[in-house]
Amino acid sequence: MLLAATNRPEVLDPALLRAGRFDRQISVDRPVKNGRVAILNVHLKKIKLEKGLDPTQIAALTPGFTGADLANLVNEAAVVATRRYAQAVSLDDFVAAVERVIAGPEKRKRLLNPRERRIVAHHEMGHAIVAIAWPETDPIKKVSIIPRGLGTLGYTMQMPTEDRYLMTRTELMNRITVLLGGRAAEMAAFGEATTGAADDLQRATEMARAMVARYGMEPTLGQASFAAERPRYLDLPGLSPMQSEASEETNAKIDAAIRKLVDEAFDRATSLLQACAAVHRESAQRLLEKETFSEEELAPIRAAVLDRVGRPLMATAGPAPRIVAGAHQPDS
């Protein structure tokens, strides 16, 4: 029996896949929660866990992680525990390790001037407040204005509570609205845009383009897909950009529909932040002082936001493994 493995099955010569050759393909996808628990049990044997810590709790923090990601996570958590001279690795160490794996290491030596810190604080609280108000979004786990990695000036961490395989139009619109909450917050607080929302705008536009051109979620264009076929097994950014297979006239309609969705999401975020202006201003000031809000510290902000809007909002626009939305340096 001859076995072979590849991360790029879409570029293989079809002759290799004929009957009698490599005629059986087995796709090894990212592990689901039970699979992550099993992988963690292998790697956790190398470290001493805090008493009572269940690998299931760690697996819940890591949707979308591969086996290599989980191995790296265990090592990072052990390093975090070692730095605080702990005798065992706790769940908080794993949370810190997840942040490091996703957003990169803290860069406390990257000093921002006071105005930039204020902009980043308002930007991140804009993401957080918009996410709190919409019910069908992943819960906010942490908000920070401590720079991380190569270009992240601050971030708002959302963690899904379960593995997801389908998204509705409403959920996608809510995600776009949360992404644009940072830019809406900058405009509301300072009256002008900054370069910090570059990454958010790119992701929001890509999501809107997929809704229109790939998922057939725009009523004016009907139940049709205009995107060229992507790789069958992998969806790697930069290797296979979504190309439209429509006419020039239809492409113009696609562009208009994308702009409409993004503008609609931006207007929703702006309206919400205007309704919660006092909460936004006060929470941004507190974030400047504390630099980081944990999930528990966000609880009173959540209560204040829901008190202002009356209840979790429902999307009016009609019918993604870990998310880090935040302020970025341009081209980072």
Structure confidence at residue 236 (pLDDT): 47
H/E element, 293: strand 292-294
Structure confidence at residue 158 (pLDDT): 81
Q: Is 50 a catalytic residue?
A: no
List 76, 124, 171, 186, catalytic entry: 124
Structure confidence at residue 317 (pLDDT): 36
33-103 matches 114-325 in fold: no
Structure confidence at residue 130 (pLDDT): 92
Structure confidence at residue 104 (pLDDT): 77
Question: Please, what is the Cα angle at 155 between 157 and 313, to 5 degrees?
Answer: 55
Instruction: Write down the number of H helices and E strands in the chain.
Output: 11, 4
Per CATH, the architecture of 114-325 is what?
Up-down Bundle (1.20)
CA distances from residue 325 to 70, 116, 122, 226 in whole angstroms, order as listed: 22, 17, 13, 28
Structure confidence at residue 153 (pLDDT): 84
Residue 108 amino acid letter = R
Q: Which DSSP category does 9 fall into?
A: G
Least Cα distance to 174 among 89, 272, 76, 255 occurs for 272
How does pLDDT run along the chain (332 residues), one tens digit per residue? 889 998 888 888 889 988 889 888 888 888 989 999 999 999 999 999 999 899 999 998 888 899 999 999 999 999 999 999 999 999 989 988 988 887 777 777 777 888 999 999 999 999 999 999 876 778 888 899 888 766 678 888 887 767 777 888 989 999 999 999 999 999 999 999 998 899 999 999 999 999 999 999 988 888 888 876 555 544 544 444 455 667 888 889 999 999 999 999 999 999 999 999 999 999 999 999 998 898 889 999 988 888 887 655 544 333 333 334 555 554 44
Query: What are the sequence ranges of the domains in the chain?
Result: 33-103, 114-325
- On whether the CB atoms of residues 201 and 183 are closer than 8 A, the answer is yes
Least Cα distance to 199 among 237, 239, 227, 146 occurs for 237
CA distances from residue 159 to 14, 77, 278, 296, 308 in whole angstroms, order as listed: 40, 18, 26, 15, 25
Structure confidence at residue 157 (pLDDT): 84
Per CATH, the architecture of 33-103 is what?
Orthogonal Bundle (1.10)
Structure confidence at residue 311 (pLDDT): 56
